[in-house]
Amino acid sequence: MAKNIRALAAKCVFQVVDNGRSLSDELPQAQSRAEGKDKGLLQELCYGVLRFLPELEHSIRPLVKKPLKGKQRVVHFLMLVGVYQLKYTRIPDHAALSETVNGVVALKSPHLKGMVNGILRNFQRSQQNTDTTDAQTLSEPVQYNHPGWFIKKVQEGYPQQWSSILLQNQEKPPMWLRVNQQKSAVDDYIKLLEQAEIGFDYIDPISQAVKLTHPVDVGTLPKFEQGWVSIQDGAAQQAAKLLDTQANDKVLDCCAAPGGKTCHIMESQPNLASMTAIDVEPDRLARVQENLARLGLNAKVIAADAAKPESWWDGDKFDRILLDAPCSGTGVIRRHPDIKWLRKASDINELTTLQAKILRAIWALLKPGGTLVYATCSILPEENVQQIKAFLDEQPDAVHVAITDKSEDIGWQILPGDHSMDGFYYAKLTKKN
Q: Which residues contact 339 (CB under 8 A, 6 or more apart)?
A: 328, 329, 330, 332, 333
CB 4 within 8 A of CB 102: yes
Diameter over CA atoms, the chain:
74
- Angle between helix 93-106 and helix 5-19 axes, rounded to 10 deg: 70
Helix spans in 139-284 (H): 140-144, 148-157, 162-169, 186-195, 238-243, 260-268
Q: Are 279 and 305 in contact (CB under 8 A)?
A: no
Q: What is the dihedral of CA 282, 286, 287, 293, to 10 degrees?
A: 140
* Cβ partners under 8 Å of residue 188, min gap 6: none
Active site residue 377: yes
Q: Which one is catalytic: 254, 255, 327, 377? A: 377
10 Å CB burial of residue 209 (0-12, 13-18, 19+) is buried
CA torsion, ordered 42, 48, 49, 50, to nearest 10 deg: 110
Distance CA 397, CA 368 (A): 9
Beta bridge partners of 260: none
User: What's at 159, amino acid-wise?
Assistant: P
Angle (CA) 120-66-149 rounded to 5° is: 85
Beta bridge partners of 318: 366
Residues identified as active-site: 377
